[in-house]
C-alpha cells in the first residue's frame, strides 16, 4: 500500500509504503504425504518427492519503505 502524498505533506517523509508477504501459507489440496513441489531428493528427474527432509517453512513478512 502506498500512502498518499497528502497524508505525508507535513512530515519529512516524501514516500511511504507497506506490504505483506507470505510463503507456503496453505496447501489447497494435499492428498498424498511426502509430496512437495519445492523439494527434491536427487539431481535426476524426481522433483517433488521428499525423503527424510524437513518440511518447507511457513513464512510471513512485513515490509516498510520510507523515502526522506
pLDDT band at 27 (very low <50, low <70, confident <90, very high): low
Residue 47's contacts (CB-CB under 8 Å, 6 or more residues apart) are 37, 39, 40
Distances (CA, A) of 29 to 10, 14, 50: 49, 44, 17
Q: How far is Cα 2 from Cα 9, in angstroms, rounded to an integer?
A: 14
Kindly tell me the sign of the dihedral angle through the C-alpha atoms of 36, 38, 39, 45. Answer: positive
The string of pLDDT tens digits covering residues 29-47 is 666 666 665 665 556 665 5
Amino acid at each position: 500500500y502506498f500512502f498518499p502524498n497528502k497524508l505525508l505533506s507535513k512530515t519529512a517523509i516524501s514516500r511511504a509504503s507497506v506490504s505483506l508477504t507470505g510463503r507456503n501459507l496453505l496447501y489447497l489440496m494435499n492428498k498424498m504425504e511426502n509430496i512437495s513441489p519445492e523439494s527434491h531428493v536427487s539431481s535426476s528427474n524426481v522433483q517433488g518427492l521428499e525423503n527424510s527432509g524437513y518440511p518447507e517453512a511457513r513464512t510471513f513478512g512485513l515490509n516498510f519503505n520510507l523515502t526522506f
